[in-house]
Structure 1
Amino acid sequence: MKQLNAIPQPKTYGPLKNLPHLEKEKLSQSLWKIAEEYGPIFRFEFPSSVGVFVSGRELAAEVCDEKRFDKNLSKALLKVREFGGDGLFTSWTNEKNWQKAHRILLPSFSQKAMKGYHSMMLDIAMQLVQKWSRLNPNEEIDVAEDMTRLTLDTIGLCGFHYRFNSFYRDTQHPFITSMLRALQEAMRQSQRHSLQDKLMIKTRHQFQQDIEVMNELVDRIIAERRENPDENLSDLLSLMLEAKDPVTGERLDDENIRYQIITFLIAGHETTSGLLSFAIYCLLKNKDKLEKAVEEAERVLTGETPEYKQIQQLTYIRMVLNETLRLYPTAPAFSLYAKEDTVLGGKYPIEKGQPVTILTPQLHRDKSAWGEDAELFRPERFSDPAAIPADAYKPFGNGQRACIGMQFALQEATMVLGLVLKHFELIDHTDYELTIKEALTIKPGDFKIRVKNKDVSNQQPAQNHKAENSGHKEETEEIPSHGTPLLILYGSNLGTAEGIAEELADIGRSKGFSTETGPLDDYAGKLPVKGAVVIVTASYNGAPPDNAAGFVKWMETLEDQELKGVSYAVFGCGDRNWAATYQRIPRLIDKVLEEKGAARLTSLGEGDNADDFEYSQEAWEDSFWQDIIKAFHIEAAPKQQNKSQLSIEYVSEAAETPIAKTYKAFEAEVITNKELHTESSKRSVRHIELRLPESETYQEGDHLGVLPQNSGKLISRVIRRFGLDPNQPFKIKGRQLPHLPMDRAVNAPEILASYVELQEPATRAQLRELAAHAVCPPHQKELEHLYSDDAAYKENVLKKRMTMLDLLEEYPACELPFARFLELLPSLKARYYSISSSPKAKSGELSITVGVVTAPAWSGRGEYRGVASNYLAGLQNGDHAACFIRSPQSGFSLPENTKTPLIMVGAGTGIAPFRGFIQARAAEKMSGHSLGEAHLYFGCRHPEEDDLYKDEFDQAEKNGLVTVHRAYSRLDQDCKVYVQDVLLREAAQIIALLGQGGHLYICGDGSKMAPAVENVLLQAYEKVHNTDSKVSLNWLEQLQAEGRYAKDVWAGV
């Protein structure tokens, strides 16, 4: 028999035993140091108890064997139990209320539940972003303090629909103050001698007072929900009040609900706030990792606010969090006790009931598990979850007693860290040296940073892509009823697998199958041989779900070939964060079914909650339906038989606005959106092609009116300034404003995007309102000066184009209500673009040529981006825009006689209508019509930068459709040539063509280019005809009166 060894132990000091080895306020860190000295296991004697501490991988794996060990309530947790009671965290596994509450609450942490929490998590996360974005440049942020505010508010809102509003308080919420003090006192009590503890009467009184504060708040939350129940709420509190335990049929009593709420408020925010604080610290100390995380955040989190799927795509940021939890697990230890006398590592005796504590930070640094770089921060080690040593990674505890809220915490932390990295540059201005602050959890102590706001204006809101209208829908044709039996069984604690089973049943019915669903346990020993069996199941800590345990046990008794004749398919639900038990039960069922003679219809499907679960599910379902239809020789009916009992008419919000109805706007689909400038140009011009509804027509020279949308950056600024919930619907009532949607539900992003102008200079009337709502007297006087002093208004508002939003940001003491802000804003205006195509070239489609306006703001506040041009530039193929067609009153159209000479003058995007003219001439020539002379005078900067449509016009010139005369203003810096200069050289020919009945067209800048061209023509006429300016001016006016001179010009900026 192998000899047993004594467990190593530090030196003892009389009646104090090993206690002097522990530093005050650094209990955990003291134990880590001892582990470094004494190795993977050591014994530690307290004055009144003995503990065994384990930090090595092999020994920890034994201690985590739930057949040999179960959760122990340490002295500290027993003290916390005074206010946590028999809640999930502070109860023994064999307690009735733990088992009951565990079963009732599991669905609240399913994948479906995470989606439901998304908007509420985002609500609180954006409050953090708003707070940080409004700080002065040198203001410090106490990271742990703000993360505590954030995580408390998140669990409060998601769990109980209660708002602590921590970001609107100068001091901590009283609940937090009492909770932190009570936790710290619980830790201290666990280290004090009982006699010493009894003598600290004042401290004990404060402890009881803090417990009363916590109980009072929680009891009020419960009472208010009972008095005002809301059937639409499906949060933790609703479950605890209404749900019945599926095993006993019992509900939780109010006392246990109180304990559960306190448990979630503590566990749901303490650990996550520490995780986020440590993550920011790790990134600041590892710049290369920070750069990778920032790149991912900026690449993935486009749009105004992130969607649930985008958070799932933050894979590197999730790795950062996992690696942070490895090095700094915020719950730094968990304790278990031996169920029976046992031996660890074959040599260390452990008596029945002996507590064994796993020191998680040391376990996570075990080089035998993690390699020689175990002390380094390297998120990439989590790139392959299967390679993670699960027995050496326990940040959320162990087995069935592991943290029930793991997915909630990681979802929240991933979202918050992604948003922080997207919006802010993090600055470690003190070159912070890590100190660890301990209570029940650990956090960085006195960790302060500064942040610098980023310009996220290039991250546009996601457009309404055509593909989004359809979603994932099964594309296989509907099949007439053939009655093939399809039994869909599920093993599910959280509800995810059961939901998938019901969805499969619905699809199966539409395909003609006779479907039935049920839990796996109901069919143990009763799998049918007729038809097909589909099994959708999860694993729970490696064990089957509650309603599949009997089925799995039955499978262990099967004889060879006992399942011959059964046709089956299996889809597993799992999470790779639990690598050791990932897909254990689905894989087991799939394997045993085949081994015992059943026929597999399609390969095993595996959905991973830590990745894109829906994609995996959809891909598996597509394969499954194809394979089952093939296996049972089912023929699909013709596609036209696919009749839905519902019909959906897709409408565009933009096309439904009052302004859209005023213009009778229609939706046009984008089919091309490409850049016309070369890479060497610092500017941008887009060529955009649109598909028109069948009812819409146009002619060359017409305008396309566009109803744009304000940018995500502008909308986010408004939402931040007013502290709005972007997802909260509201109705506008009262005074009827024709441009706003009255008496129907809208949200802030919708109304700010499509209904109002946000970039117009503030009017004097708006300034009066701002001044009236300013609560700071100096600010009020400044605003009054801006509207009352004409020179000040012109210089500081008009000249700088200061908007009402700019001024609200500059004067934070202005408490203008959001409703009044909306009322003061003007209606969003349509923008007009010359159509750059001809219907004769391609019917049903048109193009526009859009100069994208981006320049430093005259106000000095960042960058000015034109509303419409940037909106159009951001559209992708398949997107829709609200548009309408107008014919200009100037007669800017081609003459009916194709032999009429044409003189076309344009600069920059002013070339647009002439492209349409030339396309029309090409069509006329193809039809056999004779063409008159046509000359295009085009001004741009450089042949290698912005010679728009060069190849197209060169080909048109070769085909005899036009003669092109170009003017390059930046080709030679010493001699800038503009379009009027080229006209001057050709003046005699132009005057002659106009004398022959030719038509003259000018398109472009109306402030400089058009007057310069007219001046050249007048001088040329005077020179050719040897006359004076009065005659030449009469001549030009006569051309216009005869309809032979048309302008399509706009004011220069």
Structure 2
Amino acid sequence: MMSSISVPQPKTFGPLGNLPQLNFDEPVQSLVKIAEEYGPIFRMDYPGRSELYISGHKLVAEVTDESKFDKRVWAPLAKVRAFAGDGLFTSWTEEPNWKKAHNVLLPSFSQRAMQGYHNKMIDLAVQLVQKWSRLNPDETVNVPDDMTRLTLDTIGLCGFNYRFNSFYREEPHPFITSMVRALDESMSSLQRLRLQDKLMITKKKQFEQDIRSMFSLVDHIIAERKEQPQEGADDLLSHMLSGKDPETGETLDDENIRYQIITFLIAGHETTSGLLSFAIYYLMKNPDKLAKAQAEADQILKDPVPTYNQVRNLKYVRMVLNEALRLWPTAPAFSLYAKEDTVLDGQYPLQKGDSVSVLIPKLHRDVEAWGEDVEEFRPERFEDPSKVPHDAYKPFGNGQRACIGQQFALQEATLVLGMVLKHFELIDHADYQLKVKETLTLKPDNFTIRVRARGGQPVMAVPGVVMEETTTQAKKKEPDAVNAHHTPMLVLYGSNLGTAEGIAREIADNARYQGFRSEVAALDDRVGKLPKEGVVVIISASYNGQPPSNAKAFIDWIEHADAGEFQGVKFTVLGCGDHNWASTYQRIPRLIDEQLSSKGAERVSPIGESDASGDFEKQVGDWTEQLWPDLARTMGLKLNISSNSERSSLSVQFVSGLAVTPLAETYDAHVAQVLENRELHDAGSERSTRHLEIKLPEGITYEEGDHLGILPQNPPELVELVLQRYGFTGTEHLVLDASGRSAAHLPLHQPVNLYDLLSHSVELQEAATRAQLRELAAYTVCPPHKKELEALLDESVYMTEVRNKRISMLDYLLKYEACELPFERFLELLPSLKARYYSISSSPRVQPEQASITVSVVRAPAWSGQGEYKGIASNYLANLQPGEEVVMFVRTPESGFRLPERAEVPVIMVGPGTGVAPFRGFLQARHVMKQQGQQVGEGHLYFGCRNPAHDYLYKNELEKAEQEQLVQLHTAFSRVDGQEKCYVQHLMRDDAHQLIPLLEQGGHLYICGDGSKMAPDVEDTLKKAYAEVGGHTAAEADAWLDRLQQEGRYAKDVWTGI
């Protein structure tokens, strides 16, 4: 039942409601006129039902959010279910056969499938051209009729290898007669009262007879294929008969295959024939556009019959088709229902189950989205895909329920229109005035023209099959593994943030091309199980001298293993660290190397060490480059030492459909709601820090000191730059397949929306790596530009001009237009979009169902000197509004960043800037402890900022905590006019005689913030203070701080990116 909402509505007529205001022959056009009068949202009442229509792009953007709305099989489609059943177009999303058939059929609409269909499409397009070329000068062409013949025959041949032979019939094929009559009856019955409908006995009998006729033909096609299977067939029918749903392992039953065939015969020819007819009409009425399209066809279609690649290059012809679809989308509406109670545009409430219909012809004429010239035919609107207002352009529907065959339709239409333009002059002999005919679809009514051959080579025959390299899969073939010796290689990693794991997977992938049988696992997965066959390669990081979370058990095992335990094991180690932490730098990798070697294992290549604050990429690359010859020498293997490790092994096929990024599953992430997002800086500050309150999903808990991991999104402006560079719109769907390189962060073997892929899966802004620069140079055809890119590979030039200036691969790709890097290679070279971690700045003892984070917004002049640099995650979070959702997870840090178990234990907290975040949670917890009657120990908080007038975070809260005797507050300000710069370590130096005794008496020390300078400086200050206060040596001071950490009384929450 439709909820009562205050929306405009035309006058009603008693029990008929608004039915009299519809022209039964032109219901869609009637609704468009009503929308022009009543605006972007209005309501219509019909006997027994009510409909809400929308056509404004902002409203459409809301209802096409698939988390809140899903497809509704509205009244016209519900009638069609009588003969299309639960086919893709007429099924509800929750029906099992929809998802099953969608999964089974997706490969049939990939770009590679389009290539396979090309010659069959040519077969039928040639029949059209030959027919028109044989007409006498005074004979006319009924464009919609001939296009219907063409598109029906095309879907029949490509889909089921069945020839309707429509060009050889005076009358339509009986199947078409039955189908058209059944569609007309489905639409007409909606305009009748129930009593009238019951009295239409003859109509009902004819409807039932037409259904039987359609079923008879389709069942015959299915039975014949089953009895006489066609070896090597790669059409829709073969996929439906043999394909299995990858999710359930189930196949489609014969009844559902029948419904799918009927669905494709309806949708696959009615809409495309209308599209071609509208396109020809608008070209004839716009001679300048016609001349431009014909010039492109003449230039590109050099052969009498186009090749697949030539059709793909008809860019302006495709723009003509897009504009024709804008003005008259042949499928003119789609309907949705609300999954939950919601409010449209902040003012129109909808109850769960309420429906909304999108009136596409009016949406495509939304002046706010398209400009004042919405009625003009201007294909150039689609020249720059980044400027197409996607929320205002929905000719194929929306999201996962969008038309699965849109690639097929556009490929066919581009081919046919290109051939027509190349071979014929189009003559508007009767000055045709557009009249739109409405059935389930739209097309020009009684649209006739004359044609005249333009000369040149006639089309006389269909070419033989020529298989071109037409997907975006790399043309170069992968080198075969040299002497595939199948030596086992186990690559183990210890990694919290994914860097070491990524290196491990890269090595394992390269090993396969060197003939190894490689496997990847976390260190903890191989406790007690190091193989003595082959070689073990270990990649590990350290975290404040401690093992990563997935290496703790392994480290404990090897430390307590007996002498000789690893006799027979061959190994090598690569460490990841940060030299700013000199006392613990590479501690874990070195420990692994030493323990394995001392207990019997054979080191086959020297330990490597990579430094996050140094030339990390080069150090990893140098070690990896040396690994292969070392393995060849020590293990007596013949390896392909000179092979290029930067192979392209990612293939991209464009399809229809959707999938989700695997990153959320990798992190076990959940969707949470933003409750509050406020600025912490005063108005006079040039910088920004945001406080976000987040409502946690049910079942998610945390403790003070935990981190909130956030999966951010790349900003739209960056994504649009990629789309523009490669000529995509962002609405495309693709299936990725990787055979050689690790691509675990990409959604492989399933359809994904291109815009979502670029937004959620890859880093677009990281500084270009040397590997990326080498690839850019290799694909650059302009010699001077090639040399410029190659010059950046020099060690000193790279560091100063690329890495230190943070110039990305995308920046260089945009700068050097002569670089022809294929899209799939670009995608493969991009690293995974990393989760960002923020210290939780609240305590669950106050509000267990929500957590806060404190985010410094990175926004400053780019070090490259070009424009502004914006941090991906911080700006994403800064722009989130209350009520919006964020993907998050809770992570406990490895450093043991926890309050002491006993409240009376003294604590010293050091957190300048946003480093104060976890201590805000600590103070909230101490406040609750005190309220509960516990004795709270002495506390000191060292906080620093630039200027107390601008960026004193949580000033009122911190001062109140001091008044409540929860903490003594020590503040350092570094940018106050007339005062010397003061940092937290300066205050701690002055308080040395107070702090050192506290720590000696069992107090706990915490540092949070910058790990590159602040934290090391604080450590140096503390060690000097310890030496000075107690008269100790520097070595004793180092040992003292190490002892605090080993005892669990010193914890750091700092970041180095490993």
Alignment correspondent of 1:590: 762
Does 2:214 align with 1:214?
yes
Q: Distance in 2 between matches of 1:339 and 1:561?
A: 28
- Report how far residue 63 of structure 1 moved: 1.1
8 A contact 2:73–2:335 mirrored in 1: yes
Superposed CA deviations along residues 300-330 of structure 1, whole A, max 9, x for unmatched, are 0111311110010000000000011000100
Task: Please state whether the residue corresponding to 2:762 is helix, strand or coil.
Answer: helix
8 A contact 1:52–1:357 mirrored in 2: yes
- Report how far residue 576 of structure 1 moved: 2.4
Alignment correspondent of 2:476: 473
Alignment correspondent of 2:665: 550
- Report how far residue 373 of structure 1 moved: 1.1
Cα pair distance change 1:4/1:169, threshold 3 Å: closer
Q: Distance in 2 between matches of 1:166 and 1:288?
A: 33
Q: What TM-score results when the alignment is normalised by the length of structure 1?
A: 0.51
8 A contact 1:80–1:186 mirrored in 2: yes
Cα pair distance change 1:541/1:108, threshold 3 Å: closer
Q: What TM-score results when the alignment is normalised by the length of structure 2?
A: 0.50
Q: Distance in 1 between matches of 2:66 and 2:465?
A: 51
**Amino acid paired to 1:550:** E
Q: Distance in 2 between matches of 1:103 and 1:239?
A: 10
8 A contact 1:605–1:617 mirrored in 2: no
- Report how far residue 215 of structure 1 moved: 0.5
Cα pair distance change 1:106/1:30, threshold 3 Å: same
**Mapping of residues 955-994 of structure 1, within 5 Å:** none
Does 2:372 align with 1:372?
yes
Cα pair distance change 1:126/1:605, threshold 3 Å: farther
**Mapping of residues 649-688 of structure 1, within 5 Å:** none
**Amino acid paired to 2:731:** W
8 A contact 1:138–1:450 mirrored in 2: yes
Cα pair distance change 1:262/1:605, threshold 3 Å: farther
Alignment correspondent of 2:309: 309
Task: Please state whether the residue corresponding to 2:761 is helix, strand or coil.
Answer: helix
Q: Distance in 2 between matches of 1:326 and 1:171?
A: 32
Task: Please state whether the residue corresponding to 2:87 is helix, strand or coil.
Answer: coil
**Amino acid paired to 1:589:** S
Alignment correspondent of 2:199: 199
Task: Please state whether the residue corresponding to 1:578 is helix, strand or coil.
Answer: coil
Cα pair distance change 1:386/1:541, threshold 3 Å: farther
Superposed CA deviations along residues 57-109 of structure 1, whole A, max 9, x for unmatched, are 11111111111111011111100000000000000000000011011111111
8 A contact 1:302–1:462 mirrored in 2: no
Task: Please state whether the residue corresponding to 1:245 is helix, strand or coil.
Answer: coil
**Mapping of residues 32-111 of structure 1, within 5 Å:** 32-111=32-111
- Report how far residue 202 of structure 1 moved: 0.5
Alignment correspondent of 1:241: 241
Q: Number of matched residues? A: 591
- Report how far residue 516 of structure 1 moved: 8.2
- Report how far residue 372 of structure 1 moved: 1.1
Q: Distance in 2 between matches of 1:451 and 1:317?
A: 19
Q: Distance in 1 between matches of 2:253 and 2:670?
A: 38
Alignment correspondent of 1:411: 411
**Amino acid paired to 1:370:** W
Alignment correspondent of 2:426: 426
Q: Distance in 1 between matches of 2:465 and 2:186?
A: 54
- Report how far residue 194 of structure 1 moved: 1.4
Cα pair distance change 1:600/1:445, threshold 3 Å: same
Alignment correspondent of 1:1001: none
Cα pair distance change 1:130/1:626, threshold 3 Å: same
Superposed CA deviations along residues 321-355 of structure 1, whole A, max 9, x for unmatched, are 00110001000111111112221111112222222
Does 2:750 align with 1:578?
no
Cα pair distance change 1:280/1:577, threshold 3 Å: farther
- Report how far residue 192 of structure 1 moved: 1.3
- Report how far residue 189 of structure 1 moved: 1.0
**Mapping of residues 322-361 of structure 1, within 5 Å:** 322-361=322-361
Q: Distance in 2 between matches of 1:78 and 1:299?
A: 47
**Amino acid paired to 2:476:** K
Cα pair distance change 1:249/1:446, threshold 3 Å: same
Identity %: 56
Q: Distance in 2 between matches of 1:83 and 1:318?
A: 33
Q: Which runs of 5+ in 1 are unaligned?
A: 488-503, 564-569, 607-614, 628-1053
8 A contact 1:542–1:585 mirrored in 2: no
Cα pair distance change 1:472/1:399, threshold 3 Å: closer
**Amino acid paired to 1:99:** K
Superposed CA deviations along residues 945-971 of structure 1, whole A, max 9, x for unmatched, are xxxxxxxxxxxxxxxxxxxxxxxxxxx
- Report how far residue 584 of structure 1 moved: 2.3
Task: Please state whether the residue corresponding to 1:319 is helix, strand or coil.
Answer: helix
Alignment correspondent of 1:7: 7
Does 2:120 align with 1:120?
yes
Alignment correspondent of 1:440: 440
**Amino acid paired to 2:433:** E
8 A contact 2:401–2:657 mirrored in 1: no
Q: Distance in 2 between matches of 1:188 and 1:562?
A: 53
- Report how far residue 161 of structure 1 moved: 0.5
Cα pair distance change 1:588/1:625, threshold 3 Å: closer
Alignment correspondent of 1:362: 362
Cα pair distance change 1:4/1:233, threshold 3 Å: closer
- Report how far residue 587 of structure 1 moved: 4.6
Alignment correspondent of 2:1027: none
Q: Distance in 1 between matches of 2:822 and 2:393?
A: 31
- Report how far residue 544 of structure 1 moved: 3.5
Task: Please state whether the residue corresponding to 1:576 is helix, strand or coil.
Answer: coil
Q: Distance in 2 between matches of 1:562 and 1:58?
A: 28
Q: Distance in 2 between matches of 1:472 and 1:540?
A: 20
Task: Please state whether the residue corresponding to 2:763 is helix, strand or coil.
Answer: helix
Task: Please state whether the residue corresponding to 1:234 is helix, strand or coil.
Answer: coil
Task: Please state whether the residue corresponding to 1:204 is helix, strand or coil.
Answer: helix
- Report how far residue 439 of structure 1 moved: 0.3
Cα pair distance change 1:535/1:419, threshold 3 Å: closer
Q: Distance in 2 between matches of 1:622 and 1:70?
A: 34
- Report how far residue 542 of structure 1 moved: 9.2
Alignment correspondent of 2:392: 392
Q: Distance in 1 between matches of 2:652 and 2:478?
A: 25
Task: Please state whether the residue corresponding to 1:417 is helix, strand or coil.
Answer: helix
**Amino acid paired to 1:585:** L
**Mapping of residues 132-151 of structure 1, within 5 Å:** 132-151=132-151
Structure whose CA Rg is larger: 1
Alignment correspondent of 1:282: 282
**Amino acid paired to 2:761:** I
- Report how far residue 421 of structure 1 moved: 0.3
- Report how far residue 555 of structure 1 moved: 11
**Amino acid paired to 1:426:** L
- Report how far residue 458 of structure 1 moved: 10
**Mapping of residues 915-930 of structure 1, within 5 Å:** none
Task: Please state whether the residue corresponding to 2:52 is helix, strand or coil.
Answer: strand
8 A contact 1:274–1:330 mirrored in 2: yes
Task: Please state whether the residue corresponding to 1:87 is helix, strand or coil.
Answer: coil
Q: Distance in 2 between matches of 1:153 and 1:85?
A: 23
Alignment correspondent of 2:299: 299
- Report how far residue 269 of structure 1 moved: 0.6
**Amino acid paired to 1:362:** K
**Amino acid paired to 2:154:** T
8 A contact 1:390–1:579 mirrored in 2: no
8 A contact 1:542–1:584 mirrored in 2: no
Q: Distance in 2 between matches of 1:392 and 1:150?
A: 30
Q: Distance in 2 between matches of 1:71 and 1:308?
A: 34
Cα pair distance change 1:72/1:167, threshold 3 Å: same
Q: Distance in 2 between matches of 1:553 and 1:584?
A: 19
- Report how far residue 562 of structure 1 moved: 13
Q: Distance in 1 between matches of 2:93 and 2:170?
A: 41
Superposed CA deviations along residues 238-280 of structure 1, whole A, max 9, x for unmatched, are 1111111111111111000000000000001110000000000
Q: Distance in 1 between matches of 2:383 and 2:413?
A: 18
8 A contact 1:544–1:585 mirrored in 2: no
- Report how far residue 506 of structure 1 moved: 11
